Amino acid sequence: MKKTALLFAGQGSQTVGMGRDLCERFVSCRNMFALANEVLGYDLQGICFEGPDDLLTQTDNSQPGILLTSLVCLEALRRQAPALTFDAVAGLSLGEFTALTVAGSLRFEDGLRLVRQRGRFMQDACNATTGSMASIINMDAGALAEVCREADVDIANLNCPGQTVISGQKDKIAKAIELAKARGAKRAIPLQVAGAYHSRLMQAAQDRLAGLLEGIALQEPAVTLVHNVTACPASGVEEIKKLLIQQVTSSVRWADSMEWLIREGYTRFIEFGPGNVLSGLMKRINKDVEMLNVADTATLDSTVAKLNP
């Protein structure tokens, strides 16, 4: 039997209408959206289904919305493929909280409240700084590290071979882009983001999240959970909390995380949540593994067909 890992989408993958067709098809998915509205005390379902886009994009809406939609996608697959089993989970940044929920470490209700507050903390940090990010394509890792040192910016995401995202103050990111272009980067692309995620400019958000996590009860994950900061599992609940806090300002080591799972014998990966960003990254990390995804009814049906030939 193939060793299967479930992967969960991160912020930026949100799209107006996400989860709606699955809710039209499955009562259990509708119930999850209704419960989320009740837990959070506002109409998250309406924002996910109808937008407008600028309201959904706000971090305190997009983060619980993506977590919820990802869990709804998994629920839909479980309805159609009840024999599905998995032994590991991972999520990109925000998606790590979804992974914790699926692994039984974090309660659904706590996960929703936690990421909504996380989103608020991050938005506040964005508003208090002048941050930006850029994607650097096909540049030698050592040369890029030197560019980051010279420009005084941070490496935010190590997504896949040839794609690294940098983060920092807007003027310093502009300098880093020019240096990267001059020193061999194939492309250096400014990103349309609210601020400098996964950089030192998020320190205030990290400090506030640390205080919030003190009141959250976590359990040991029931399956292997690979963390962004270390690209490997944690050794206990206290380390999980520490890594969730550190993640706000640390690099997301996504490529290393996937390579760790592949070395452990995982050959099937299923992405859950809006879009298919993680599936695209996997093509650059390892083309030999099986990569499936569930984002809506069409991708659900395709994945079910492959799981139940």
Task: Output the CA–CA distances (angstroms, integers) from residue 131 to 31, 94, 145, in the order listed.
Answer: 38, 19, 19
Any bridge partners for residue 293, and if so which?
A: 271
Q: Would you please indicate which residues are annotated as catalytic (active-site) residues?
A: 93, 198
**Alpha carbon distance 286, 140 (integer Å):** 19
Amino acid at 7: L
Encoding tokens for residue 70? 């990802």
> What gap in Å lies between CA 219 and CA 12, rounded to an integer?
28
Instruction: Report the half-sphere exposure of 85 (CA within 13 A, side-chain side).
Output: 5
Q: Quick one: tokens of 166?
A: 């940098």
Tokens for 84, please give them: 């599905």
H helix and E strand count, the chain: 14, 9
Structure tokens at 221: 């994950």
Tell me the sheet residues that pair with 224: 88
